[in-house]
A and B are shown apart, each in its own frame.
Chain A
């Protein structure tokens, strides 16, 4: 019953998120993100009546939906990369290319797999394994991105912060829950399902608050010139690091 309530809450939040995205003209700005939410809305919206009408049909199709949603989640990472790094030339280009290659490869796999594997039990087993591995890859990618953001002091607006926080917490919680599920076994399954649902609703709530209206990233102001100056900058920094080292040597020799 609780699971069903959370499911309905999820659908309502997804619908509200899409509505706010439309009203605030965010759909085109964050197309990958809203694509993901829209697929979730369609999948959950169609899945709920199907669950009550024909459970067997729901079982077989829910795995396919799960695969597609799993792969589309990569689009959020791509969206974050694109917007966070958009003002920082070069890095964004590489990130976008790599992201599209990964997204294309896994999406292709999901579609091809559906035509060859018809047994729901096999699909379920593969789904859990793939979900864990895939989410691990995304978690590592997001962790790396967070380190780069922190290292280079990149600032961002409310929209992207919310996107990162919402998706990041779902990734982290799901990974931990999946690992525990693999270790504890079937008796952890009900708890695992509930944890996932709560984490997902939490993410939707975070996204709804963060993406209620458009909030642009703070415009970075470059304090230095064109690309040719990079080496000059690096050189100057190095010589200053050298100066600092020399001072330390002086102290050590005293």
Chain B
């Protein structure tokens, strides 16, 4: 029975992945569009995704406290609803940029014969963790509102620490010439 299930599963998995392969969106690659997209993602991420003041403002408890103290229950609910929409939109934008960054990395990395499997796996795990954190934030914010952000600090901090540790090892290779070349190419396109 186990044998039957495993063979059925392999066959079904192959057919499902074939179906998704045929439906896969054929995005433009390598051209000016991809470079501009990558450049935009790069800029957004390098600038810290969103200005910290704005992030602080979206999630500031002061506004809620003011509304709770000075207005009626209806106004409070309306405020929370609006703030939830803004918070969800912010997380969704973060997620979109992370996805864009991953796409850019993968489209560049695939050309290298000396591609390191270990590095790629580590990056894949980090990306997955980051995307999962974004999704979890979305779910918690959707269910419990913008101010009920779950205590995910521990796990998020661990991801960030791991990412930073790995990046320290190869920071020396990030030459200014490379950044300049990227900039010139993007400008040309």
Contact = CB atoms under 8 A, between A and B. Distances in A.
Interface residues of B, number: 86
A245 B156 contact: yes
Contact of B112 (A93, A176, A230, A248): A230
Contact of B101 (A93, A132, A218, A237): A237
Given A132-B7, A242-B164, A234 B110 contact: no
A136 B10 contact: yes
A172 B18 contact: yes
B18 A248 contact: no
B139 interface: no
A179 B3 contact: yes
Contacts, number: 237
Given A152-B107, A220-B29, A248-B133, A182 B166 contact: no
A87 B94 CA distance: 32
B87 to A, nearest CB: 9
Nearest to A144: B17
A229 B50 CA distance: 29
Contacts of B50: 247
A221 B159 CA distance: 33
Contacts of A150: 17, 20-21, 24
A90 interface: yes
Q: Interface majority SS on A: helix, strand, loop or mixed?
A: helix
Contacts of B108: 222-224, 233
How would you classify the secondary structure of chain B's contact residues: helix, strand, loop or mixed? Answer: helix
A254 B149 contact: yes
Contacts of A146: 17-18, 21
Interface stretch (A17-25, A103-111, A163-171): A163-171
B116 A179 contact: no
A3 interface: no
Which of A164, A232, A234, A252 counts the most B-chain CB atoms under 10 A from its CB?
A234
A173 B22 CA distance: 17
A190 B23 CA distance: 33
A89 B111 contact: yes
A143 B48 CA distance: 37
Nearest to A230: B112
Interface of A: 87-91, 93, 132, 136, 139-140, 142-143, 146-147, 149-155, 161, 164-165, 168-169, 171-176, 178-180, 182-183, 218, 220-225, 227-254
